[in-house]
Structures are given as C-alpha cells and as structure tokens.
Structure 1
Amino acid sequence: WAEQELLNLTDNITVTKLALPDLPSSDKHAELLRKAWQTGMLQYESRKFNDNVYLSYISKPDIKRKRELLKIFIVKWILLTNRSYRRLNLLKSRYIKIICKKSYYKKCLEELESQKPALLFCTHQRAINAIAPLEAAKKLGIPTACFIYSWDNLSKATLFVDSDYYLVWSEYMKQELLTYHPEIRSENIFITGTPQFAPYFNDNLKIGHGQFADKFNLPKNRRWICFSGDDTKTSPHDPVYLKQLAEAVRSWNNKEQNQLHILFR
C-alpha cells in the first residue's frame, strides 16, 4: 500500500523505482568514522546546549566483547582531535569518500546515468545505503531530496545522508534542522507534514472488527488489548510489562465474564 499511496500523492509526476545493485558488505574503516561522527556530534551537542540528554543517545556497546572494546578505544582516539563542528563534518566527508570508492557507488552511477531521473528522493535520512546513490546523483548533476523520517531523529545525530533539499514535518522541525546543521540553507528546507501517515486516513484500507478477527483467527467475543512493542534500546523492559499484563488478563479472565485478549504488535 505504501507504493500506491506514493503514486496517489504524485498524480502528475512519473515515479520510477530504480533497480539498484545488491548492497555491499560494510567497510570497517567507514563504519568507525561514521560511529565517531555520530558519537562526536552528540558530545558536541551536549556541550553546546549544556544538556547531558544527548549523551544518553550514544549507543551502549557490549563491553564483554573484545572487538567492541577496541571499537570504543578507536572512536575515542579519533575524537581526541575532532571535537569541533567543522572537524566532525570533515569526519563525515571522509566517511562518504570511502563509500564513493566502492563498486556499489559506481553501479549506482551507471544506473542513474542510464535512467536520467529529474530528482532522486530518499525517504529516510538514516538510510546508510542511500549515501552512494545520493552522491552518485550529485556527481551527475541530478537534484536530490531527503525526508526527515521521524520527530526525534535530528536530535540524535542521524543525518547520515547529505542532499540538496530536505522535507520536514513542521516549522519546529525546520528550525531543529537549522540548529543542528547550520550549513543547510533555510530556503532548501520544505515543510510537507507527515505523508507517511496518510494511509491511516484512507478509508479504503479499513476493515471491520469481524473481518479482522476472521483474517487473523481472533476471538470475536472478547475485548482486545493492543500491546505495541518497541526495540531493546527504546523500551528494554517490554518483556516485563507484557508478562505483567498477561498475568493481569489471565487473572481477570478467570473471574469475569467479559473476557480480554492481548494483541502483541
């Protein structure tokens, strides 16, 4: 449905799905530079805004593994001389240059040269694999645009791609983008709202309670509780919460006639 929604939103535009080559294996040197850039940016923002919350966004490695400890040491060593915003951006440039030396970048270049699109659009600024095609497009003079995917992405130093234009949810997010990345020009940022949520307002996608129950073999005579899980970093105690909810529902169902049923997403 996502592709159909995109086509509905772009009735007067030809949208082509490019057949890009298979993704390459990660480059250890590039990954270390990317990790150093992201860690350094969060440390820089913590100093700039005098707020330690940015430090909590730095991913915690598994220190029991020697390889992870070595990565921590290398990242810290890199950041000894790369603490300013300018130096951190140079790190990002080095990371992008490494990617542009890979065969994947060259294949993206060939595909884009063949297709000659008027614009290359990236739907997620965290998409590391989108760096090569975006850089290839720039090399060919093809304009590029990137959508800031989620409301909290900018504060967590996740602008891994560089594009000519940026699409944001709101005026507030536009100001965030200008605050965290002052090199971006205001006139290159466009407020579009949140089109990825458009399907939720599409009545054609709705199905009735009974039809939904039949499709997923769910009990129609029970009231449903939807438990929406998250990843281990955002909500590490989800298993505990789900277990407690299940125990409470089981206890309720043993005593009450109005039965409950948990749907875990």
Structure 2
Amino acid sequence: MKIVLLVPDGVAVRNYIYSDFIQELHQANFEVVLYHQIPTPAIQEIKKVHGNLLSEYLRIPDFKEHFISRILRESIAYARLLQNSDKLQNKTIMLFWNGKSKGFKRTILLRISEVAGFVISQKYSWILKLEKWYESTILNHPTTKIIEAELSKLNPDYILNLHQRAVITAPIIAIASKNGIKNGTVIFSWDNIPKARLLSKYDSYFVWSDLMQSELEIVYPEINSAAIKVVGTPQFEFYFKDQFKLSKEEFFATYNLDPSKKTICFSANDAFSPYEAIYLEDLCESLLTIDEPNRAQILFRRCPVDLSNRFDVVLSKYPKLVISIDPDWRIASALENTFTEIYPSFLDISLLVNTVLHSDVVVNLGSTMAHDFAVYNKPCLYLNYDPIEPSSLKVKDVYGFQHFRSMSGIAAVGWINNRLDFKEKIQQALDSSEIIGPDRLQWMQKIVKYPLQNNSKNLVQEISFLCTSV
C-alpha cells in the first residue's frame, strides 16, 4: 500500500514525521511518500532520522488562491466563527478572527468577508453551499492540473494531511476526493476545532480524544460520526524514549544550569501573547526576594516560531537567574521568515524532553506545555493576571477559550493571580508539587487518548483498516 503524507510546513515535522508514526507505517507495509513544501535542509534532516523509510519526496506546487476564492474562504471562516460561538455559547471564539490589517487590499478583503460571512451565518445550509463553491474554484485553478497529474502518477491508496489549516493542501484534497482517492486529516492541536479553519472535507478525521470528537460533531454536524477516529497524537511519545534522555548532571553541565538548585521552566508563547517578557521579569523580581542559596533558577524556553528579540532586555538583566535554552528550530532562508522556511531539528526533541524531565515546575500563559509536564506528573502554574492596563490581550479571554473548558470542575493547574502570588505558589510547587494542580493527569486524560505510547500505532491501524475496507 502507498500513503502520501501532506507536510505543508515545518510545524508538522516534529509531531508526526520525527515520531514513531513513520516506523509504524513501514511495519504495516506502507510505502511512504512525502508531499511537502518544506526546505531542502529539513528534508536532509528527515533522511538522517529515517534513512530510506520514505520512498519519495515530492514538492507541492506553489498555489495562490484567486481573489474570489480568498473571499469565499474568509467569509466561510467568519460565518463559522459566528456559528461556533453560538453553538458552544462562547464569545471568545470570535477572537480567532484576525480582522486587523495594515494593507489596504487585505483590509477591503476582510471587510467584504465579514459582511458576507455575517449574511451566510444566518443559515448553516448557506455555509455548506459556499464551501462547495470554494471547492469548485479550487478545482478550476491552473495548479490543480499539475497536482492531478502527480497524484495520478503516484497512485496512492491514501492521502493524509498533517496540518489541516494549510491552504496549499486544499487543491490536493479536492482532487483526491474528485478522483476517489481515500483521504483524511489529523487535527493538529487541541485548540483547533472551534477556529473554523478546517478548509477541506475529508473521508476521515483523526482526533485526540472523545472530547475533541464531540466538539467536532457539534460544529460540523455534516460530518458523519463514523468518519471521526479517536487515535490521540504522537507528540507525547518522545517522553517515554530513553534515546532522548540525558542525566540531569549532563544536561545541566551542557547548558550551565546549577544541579544543586530547583528549576522553574518558563515557557513562552508566540507573538499572539504580547506581554510574555513582562511576565518573565515579574517572576525574576519575585525570585530575587528569596535568599540566594534557596533561590530556584529559571530555564527559559521561547516559542519555537518566535524569532523576535522581545526577551533580550530581560535575559541580559538577569543573566545569573535565567538560563535560556533556545529551541533548535532553523530557518532555511534568511530572506524569508515563514512557516515553510522554519523547521525543527531532530535535536530539539531531546532539548524539550530534558527540559521537562529536569525542571520541577512550568510557568506560562495557557500553554500546551502544561500537558508536556503532566506526562511526568509535574505541576504547571498558569499566569492569570493582566500585567499592564489597558491590556490588548485579557487573561480572562485567554482562559475563556473553548479548549480551557476541559478544565471545568477539576484542579488541573495552579494559578498565579497577581505579581504577589509568585513567591508562595512557586514555593508550593517546588516543595509540595502534589497540591498544585492535583488533577493534572485527569485533565490530560480528557485531552488526549491514553496510553500515550500507542498513539502512532492507533493512527496507523485506523489508516490500514480504511485502506483495506471496501
């Protein structure tokens, strides 16, 4: 059997391509083809990891939507956000609409999309009709002829999209569906369902959990529940593999951390969260009130795709307190700063695993890293105050996002509700970790299918069954 994996950018590489997923496909007798838009150095890195387990690397042709297609897509997204906020009774869903723009053309496009989206949101059937119209415009695009010829030559048994939000995958799925090629998509992250960026219709949808399946059924009622497969996600499998683990002594010596001190991991978000540097400085100032011998150290890990210099001032101000271990994500072209040019090295898996393994607590603003630490049953402290007023990003909105409703009724994390909370809550997490977010494993088990080690195998088993069924 032959499977084509769609890898539109570097973000999909770490969670799927570096995981056990490729090995499991090989063991299930799949010939694996990478249909991608990632740079040559990323391909070389993948070949180092997997050798000849992937039979072919084929670049996805460049695809640029026509103006009408773009208006249709954005109108559908706006309409679905309105629908989703109503269906899920959650007004924060509308914050995922990026209605701001510096360019005149994009501003006009977004205003048109908002008006059209509002109108079609009045009836769900109108949204579905617009989605069919969008697909027809995609199929009429000149690029689809190239893609159709390539798929005909490849003749795959299955096509799996590893990042459902990427526009460049839309024509591939449209052609696959037209030609009867079985296809599916993973839902890439735990917060993706309400964001209205599921661009294509698939034969199958591979989700993290029963909770995600339920949400998908609510906001996409046209999807048959039998098409939704709960398989988990491979991204947590790395934590169980000795090949990625270093001893605490070796890891700390390599990165100039003090093995005699407790370690706080401060994990940052991307630029969507503008006040991360202020939070980091608040933590530093709080720790400085503790006597040096008893003072914990901070291991700072920035968001891999945040290449800004916004933390530089804080890091230079507290060089003995904060040790920065940057994710090993690389930019293939200095001329571009796009997701297609940024990719993770295989080494970054080890950096992340050892960061979690050898830190005692993680502090962040609503980050998925809470789940990474929960794998090792370690506590997370969520930042829960606005560091400046007026604030362009309110924490009440952040924790109002749909995916945080999964914490309802359980104590999944600890909360730092103001600057004065740091000292006490950090001390509790370091001295009595069981009282900070005691229900963290219960939360994790709601978010992703257990056991975590089996998720690649779950996905491959489902695909194998789909390929062989009539």
Q: Does 1:173 align with 2:212?
A: yes
Structure 2 matches for 1:128-147, cutoff 5 A? 128-147=167-186
**Alignment match, 2:319:** none
> 1:78 aligns to what SS in structure 2?
helix
State which of 232, 256, 264 in structure 1 corresponds to 2:292.
Answer: 256
> 1:257 aligns to what SS in structure 2?
helix
* 1:33 CA displacement: 1.8
Structure 1: gaps of 5 or more residues: none
The question of whether the paired residues in 1 share the 8 Å contact of 2:74 and 2:110 is answered with no
State which of 17, 24, 31 in structure 1 corresponds to 2:34.
Answer: 17
Paired amino acid for 1:13: N
**Alignment match, 2:97:** 58
> 1:59 aligns to what SS in structure 2?
coil
Change (3 A) 1:218 1:90: farther
* 1:49 CA displacement: 4.7
**Alignment match, 1:3:** 17
The question of whether the paired residues in 2 share the 8 Å contact of 1:224 and 1:263 is answered with no
Change (3 A) 1:172 1:48: closer
Q: Does 1:150 align with 2:189?
A: yes
**Alignment match, 2:164:** 125
Structure 1 runs, 4 residues or longer, greater than 6 Å off: none
* 1:34 CA displacement: 1.4
**Residue deviations 1:124-145 (CA, integer Å, cap 9, x gap):** 2222221121122223221001
Change (3 A) 1:257 1:196: closer
Alpha-carbon distance in 2 for matches of 1:9, 1:137: 24
Structure 2 matches for 1:208-227, cutoff 5 A? 208-215=247-254, 217-221=255-259, 222-227=261-266
**Residue deviations 1:81-116 (CA, integer Å, cap 9, x gap):** 422211112222222322223333222212211111
Alpha-carbon distance in 2 for matches of 1:70, 1:119: 39
* 1:65 CA displacement: 5.0
The question of whether the paired residues in 2 share the 8 Å contact of 1:137 and 1:143 is answered with yes
Aligned identity (percent) is 27
Alpha-carbon distance in 2 for matches of 1:60, 1:17: 34
Change (3 A) 1:80 1:154: closer
Query: How many pairs does the alignment contain?
Result: 260
> 2:120 aligns to what SS in structure 1?
coil
Q: As a proportion of its length, which structure holds more strand?
A: 2
State which of 146, 149, 156 in structure 2 corresponds to 1:110.
Answer: 149
Paired amino acid for 2:177: K
**Residue deviations 1:55-74 (CA, integer Å, cap 9, x gap):** 23322414x65444423321
**Alignment match, 1:245:** 283
The question of whether the paired residues in 1 share the 8 Å contact of 2:161 and 2:185 is answered with yes
Alpha-carbon distance in 1 for matches of 2:198, 2:228: 14
TM-score, normalised relative to structure 1: 0.85
Q: Does 1:206 align with 2:272?
A: no
**Residue deviations 1:6-61 (CA, integer Å, cap 9, x gap):** 12332213122230334324543322221111111111233445542332332241
Alpha-carbon distance in 2 for matches of 1:57, 1:17: 30
TM-score, normalised relative to structure 2: 0.50
Structure 2: gaps of 5 or more residues: 1-13, 36-57, 303-470
> 2:33 aligns to what SS in structure 1?
coil
Alpha-carbon distance in 1 for matches of 2:65, 2:268: 29
Alpha-carbon distance in 2 for matches of 1:225, 1:102: 51
Change (3 A) 1:209 1:178: same
Query: After alignment, is 94-103 or 104-113 more displaced?
Result: 94-103
* 1:213 CA displacement: 3.6
* 1:252 CA displacement: 5.1
Which gives a bigger RCO, structure 1 or 2 (Cα 8 Å, sep 6+)? 2
* 1:80 CA displacement: 5.2
The question of whether the paired residues in 1 share the 8 Å contact of 2:161 and 2:186 is answered with yes
